[in-house]
Copies of this chain bind each other. A is one copy, B any other.
Amino acid sequence: MKSSRIKLTLTVIFFALFTSFKISAEDGSRLWLRADTVITPSEVIYRDTGDETLLLAVEELRRYWKGHAVRLVISDARDIRALTSEGFLIEGDSRSGVTITSSTEAGLLYGTHHLLRLQVTGETGGSITVKESPKYALRILNHWDNQDDSVERGYAGSSIWQWQSEQDSTVIALYRNYARANASIGLNGTVLNNVNASPLILSAPILKKVKTIADVLRPYHIKVYLSVNFDSPAALGGLPSSDPLSKDVRQWWKGKVKELYTVIPDFGGFLVKANSEGLPGPQDFGRTHADGANMLAEALAPFGGIVMWRAFVYNPSDEDRAKQAVLEFLPLDGQFSPNVLIQVKNGPVDFQPREPFSPLFGLMKETPLMPELQITQEYLGQSNHLVYLATMWKEFFESDTYVKGEGSSVAEITDGSLVPQKLTGIAGVANTGMDVNWCGHHFAQANWYAFGRLAWNHSLTAEEVADEWIKQTFSNEPDFVAQVSTLMLESRETAVRYMMPLGLHHIFAWEHHYGPEPWTDIPGARTDWMPSYYHRADAEGIGFDRSISGGAVEQYATPLCEKWKDLATCPEKFLLWFHHVPWDYRTKSGKILWDELCYHYDEGVQEVREYQRTWDKMEPYVDAERFRHVQAKLKIQSHDAVWWKDACLLYFQTFSRRIIPYEIERPIYDLDELIENSRPKTVKP
């Protein structure tokens, strides 16, 4: 895979530079950047300052813009200054000429990509007026890549950084393609390495590689960040401790940061997972998360660097895991330095197919919170299932926290529009790897794309983003766009149905988080890593009662808390998240809970089969290579949906002791066999 992608990358560059032939290998390596180069480049008017970012914009326009001349203008006019520094204004007409104006070269590059996108999606026919500024200042990919080139929760091959490779031109070309793709959707930062960070990331040989990457990414206006191990002063620096209040430790970090900025003058900062799932942190020395974060912030501040400190912490305790981030971080609100953001996963547990938003959003009023979304589909079929995540993220962005009264959406809380913030940012855990199509599943590219577009503008609808992506990646054909868009927009709800409907969560297989294992019970392991901790099925019913006094529901503001606490008013999508519900409870459909559960699973299965049908009908619109690849993945998904349905229904049936309604397709698996064979990833007869 690796070498084939690199070879192809070179081929692409060759063709792009010297010819306008169409690429025949439809392997998805070009992502959504598939426009043909033009034969006669249009005129691009700009003042050549030698700025590399500006030249990239010029190059894009010369290669791909099919209209009349484009003028690129740096301006500090009032209307331009009203935008953020990365914002831009596009005005004109493709037949008579278009002007892109920004206060920075980065804005011109973003405006250029925006214009080219409009061209591909067929929106440059008449006059154009577009004014854009990003909603979040920091729009960052988190790569959970290890220095041995493995990728934690990566399902698309080894690390694109190729830590083990020589810095040859093929690797550089790969970085460049990556950077161009990110720039085209507005991303401006990348954390290169796993949050489960090795201290060695800060060692000299690795920093050399980091510098190489930063140098390639810089013209694309992408800053490089690193995840750091909190114990680095001891583990790497040889100090006796890594206590954040120790003078030597603080000095060590200051020295290390200085070294970093010497090599990478625009280095972005640190991402830290501390005192979480066994990693070291300030609590090991009796200090708080604030002590730890502020120490790093102090070292970074002189250079303009930031700290992204993760709130994903929980300990084995009597406290519901869903409550622990609030218990840990809320008391520290107001104690963090100005260049610290707390990075908070969208939900209170862990990137489940559906969670309510984390109650930290809204509760922590004095600290900038940075949502962390997961692009890689750890819990959503990995690179086998077609699940378009924009709908899930939109559900999150639009969740009303009520902390400033009705209309206090998570998006407006975090982007600074409702509560002014010193810093705003959003992170997405990347789904990229060395697979030739970058993401394993062609449709997983849409999630990378959507993360970028929504990080830029979370008020875009999931449908708008899907349409843009489909048109750029596959076809403008209205029938194709309409049918594939419908499929994508429904796909996440379908996955919830066949995996974890009605508020169920974390009943995944212990080892791989791919398939169902609601029965898993590893003796001696943490109870809050066991599915039974979450589903709590018994003879009476199923679900986690978080509606009790002191329960997790009380971390939400009025009137959400009251609404969710009451079984009668709790939305059914969160039913089993907040309540332990009797098997014979009447749901809104009039069915009892057990039957409702059965129908949800079955609908999930039927919907995937419908997706297969839809996709098969799309064959005339798609090249054979990508058509077959997606078709094969849908087969696996269809197979897996039945597996999920059977595993969950047969297992929960041992508690409910009720019949699966006869209208529903009967199970084809035996529970005992499923329990015995836990890891099926491919379809074997």
Partner of A674, one of B515, B665, B685: B685
Q: Which residues from 319 to 353 on chain A have a C-beta closer than 8 Å to any C-beta of chain B? A: none
* A interface residues with partner B (beta carbon < 8 Å): 515, 609, 612-613, 616-617, 619, 632, 634-636, 638-640, 643, 647, 659-660, 662, 665-670, 673-674, 677, 680, 682-685
Are A673 and B682 CB-contacts (below 8 A) given A616-B659, A659-B616? yes
> 18 interchain pairs (CB within 8 A)?
A609-B666, A613-B666, A616-B660, A616-B662, A616-B666, A617-B662, A635-B666, A635-B667, A639-B685, A643-B685, A647-B685, A668-B683, A669-B685, A670-B683, A673-B682, A673-B684, A677-B685, A684-B684
Nearest-Cβ distance from residue A442 to partner chain B, whole angstroms: 16
The docked-state distance in angstroms from the alpha carbon of A669 to that of B682 is: 10
The docked-state distance in angstroms from the alpha carbon of A475 to that of B662 is: 22
Q: Which residues of B contact A643 (CB under 8 A)?
A: 685
Partner of A685, one of B612, B662, B680: B680
Partner of A670, one of B515, B613, B635: B635
Q: Find the residue from A668, A674, A685 having the highest chain B CB count within 10 A.
A: A685
The docked-state distance in angstroms from the alpha carbon of A224 to that of B242 is: 88
On whether the beta carbons of B685 and A515 are closer than 8 Å, the reply is: yes
The docked-state distance in angstroms from the alpha carbon of A357 to that of B673 is: 41
On whether the beta carbons of B683 and A612 are closer than 8 Å, the reply is: no
Q: Which residues of B contact A667 (CB under 8 A)?
A: 635
Q: Which residues of B contact A638 (CB under 8 A)?
A: 666, 668
Known: A636-B668, A669-B685, A673-B683. 15 other contacts (CB 8 A): A613-B662, A613-B666, A616-B662, A617-B662, A632-B670, A634-B666, A635-B667, A635-B668, A639-B685, A643-B685, A668-B683, A673-B684, A674-B685, A680-B684, A680-B685
The docked-state distance in angstroms from the alpha carbon of A475 to that of B665 is: 26
The docked-state distance in angstroms from the alpha carbon of A587 to that of B647 is: 41
- CB nearest to A641 among chain B residues: B668
Q: Lowest 7 A-B CB distances belong to which pairs? A: A612-B666, A643-B685, A680-B685, A635-B668, A639-B668, A638-B668, A677-B684
Partner of A669, one of B515, B616, B683: B683
Nearest-Cβ distance from residue A321 to partner chain B, whole angstroms: 28
The docked-state distance in angstroms from the alpha carbon of A612 to that of B667 is: 9
Nearest-Cβ distance from residue A595 to partner chain B, whole angstroms: 15
The docked-state distance in angstroms from the alpha carbon of A613 to that of B668 is: 11
- CB nearest to A676 among chain B residues: B684
Nearest-Cβ distance from residue A683 to partner chain B, whole angstroms: 6
Nearest-Cβ distance from residue A473 to partner chain B, whole angstroms: 22
The docked-state distance in angstroms from the alpha carbon of A667 to that of B617 is: 13
Q: Which residues of B contact A515 (CB under 8 A)?
A: 685
Nearest-Cβ distance from residue A439 to partner chain B, whole angstroms: 20
Q: Which residues of B contact A634 (CB under 8 A)?
A: 666
Q: Which residues of B contact A685 (CB under 8 A)?
A: 515, 639-640, 643, 647, 669, 673-674, 677, 680
The docked-state distance in angstroms from the alpha carbon of A683 to that of B659 is: 22
The docked-state distance in angstroms from the alpha carbon of A609 to that of B602 is: 14
- CB nearest to A644 among chain B residues: B685
The docked-state distance in angstroms from the alpha carbon of A619 to that of B657 is: 13
Nearest-Cβ distance from residue A201 to partner chain B, whole angstroms: 38
The docked-state distance in angstroms from the alpha carbon of A515 to that of B685 is: 10
Q: Which residues of B contact A666 (CB under 8 A)?
A: 609, 612-613, 616, 634-635, 638
On whether the beta carbons of A665 and B609 are closer than 8 Å, the reply is: yes
- CB nearest to A684 among chain B residues: B677
Nearest-Cβ distance from residue A533 to partner chain B, whole angstroms: 24
The docked-state distance in angstroms from the alpha carbon of A610 to that of B452 is: 47
Q: Which residues of B contact A616 (CB under 8 A)?
A: 659-660, 662, 666
The docked-state distance in angstroms from the alpha carbon of A643 to that of B639 is: 12
- CB nearest to A628 among chain B residues: B670
Nearest-Cβ distance from residue A175 to partner chain B, whole angstroms: 34
The docked-state distance in angstroms from the alpha carbon of A612 to that of B646 is: 14
The docked-state distance in angstroms from the alpha carbon of A107 to that of B477 is: 79
Nearest-Cβ distance from residue A62 to partner chain B, whole angstroms: 43
The docked-state distance in angstroms from the alpha carbon of A635 to that of B643 is: 12
Q: Which residues of B contact A673 (CB under 8 A)?
A: 682-685
Q: Which residues of B contact A609 (CB under 8 A)?
A: 665-666
Nearest-Cβ distance from residue A71 to partner chain B, whole angstroms: 50
The docked-state distance in angstroms from the alpha carbon of A619 to that of B658 is: 12
